[in-house]
Amino acid sequence: MEKQIGTISYWLGVISAIVALGLRALNAFGILTPVVVQQGRTIWYMSFFKGALLFFLIAIATAGYASLRSPKSS
């Protein structure tokens, strides 16, 4: 179960990071600009950026938990 959680959260983090970079690039070129950016009301690149950080943190924590739980071979 830990391996599935780690894998899924890792790939969700990668996808969120790619979407955040894409939206930021469109904003930098002036193609996609929000009318009004209000925290909690507008879906913008920072939403995906923070999501990517959260998913990567979950993946790291799950991998650490799984490595501590697994029997150590000496």
Q: Is residue 22 part of a domain?
A: yes
Residues of the chain with pLDDT > 90, as a percent, come to: 38
Residue 12 domain boundaries: 2-69
Angle at 66 between CA 61 and CA 70, to 5 degrees: 155
Please write the tens of the pLDDT for every residue from 48-58: 899 999 999 99
- List C-alpha distances in Å: 48 to 2, 3, 14, 66: 24, 23, 10, 27
Residues of the chain with pLDDT > 70, as a percent, come to: 84
| H helix runs in the chain, sequence order | 2-28, 45-69
Segment 55-72 shows an average pLDDT of 86
pTM of the model: 0.76
Q: Is residue 74 part of a domain?
A: no
Please write the tens of the pLDDT for every residue from 23-35: 889 888 888 777 6
Q: Is residue 34 part of a domain?
A: yes
Please write the tens of the pLDDT for every residue from 36-49: 666 666 677 888 89
- The structural domain count of the chain equals 1
CB 51 within 8 A of CB 5: no
